[in-house]
Amino acid sequence: MIELFSANTPNGWKISIMLEEIGYEYKVTKVDLGKDEQFKPEYLKISPFGKIPVIIDHENNKSIFESGAILMYLGEKSGKLYNEKDRLVINQWLMAQMGTVGPMIGQHHQFHHYNPGKSEFGEERYFKITKRIYGELDTRLKESKFLAGSDYTIADIATWPWMARHEWHDIGLKNYKNLSRWYQEISNRNAVIKGYDIFKNGSKIPIL
């Protein structure tokens, strides 16, 4: 059984969606970020940087931190959504999410959504970067059904949750035809619908 330590954020949704996709039994332990529970000494033992998510695989008595590493671990363990023949391409798009899509859009959230008016430079910079990312993803999805090719993989699972916050971005997801097609197709998956509602409180995926 997998224990998922998480919160209601894009990084958290990645893993609950993955667990639903591969059909693993799991339980969620909520980490209240507003109360700084991620910095408690016992949590830092399994998450050295005080971040979510973390999983404990009780079957193997292993804990794994960093969402990308968790997706790779679960993909290898289950033999799903991380196939050998496409692994190099999958890894590139997964690392692009970890190094660019998530951090840059996360900064856009901080300046544009959480702290508007505090830094004109920050708001303009990360708005422009996020808009550029939308365009870059749209270009990729014009030539490829999914990010790593014709198959849905952990690269899509990693990236989709950041697009699920599109209402915060004020860029207009529906203006990007290919990105919208991809977003909607993934949004309709039963495992994604269940994984998005990580705490089973009726959370609904934002529509276009």
Amino acid occupying residue 107: Q
In this prediction, residue 182 carries a pLDDT of: 98
117-123 own/partner pairs: CB under 8 Å, 24+ apart: none
Q: Which two tokens stand for residue 205?
A: 């995926």
Average pLDDT, the chain: 97
Write a three-state SS string for 133-149: HHHHHHHHHHHCCECCE
pLDDT above 70 covers a percentage of the chain that reads 100
Q: Domains in the chain and their CATH numbers?
A: 2-81 (3.40.30.10), 87-189 (1.20.1050.10)
Distance CA 123, CA 202 (A): 31
- Residues 100-130 have pLDDT tens digits of 999 999 999 999 999 999 999 999 999 999 9
The answer to whether the bond into 53 is cis (omega within 30° of 0) is yes
- Residues 15-29 have pLDDT tens digits of 999 999 999 999 999
Q: Going by C-beta distance under 8 Å and a sequence separation of 6 or more, which residues neighbour residue 41?
A: none
Mean pLDDT value of segment 82-86: 96
pLDDT band at residue 82 using 50, 70 and 90 as cut-offs: very high
Q: Which two tokens stand for residue 65?
A: 């931190």
pLDDT band at residue 131 using 50, 70 and 90 as cut-offs: very high
CA torsion 205-22-162-182 (nearest 10°) is -70
In this prediction, residue 106 carries a pLDDT of: 97
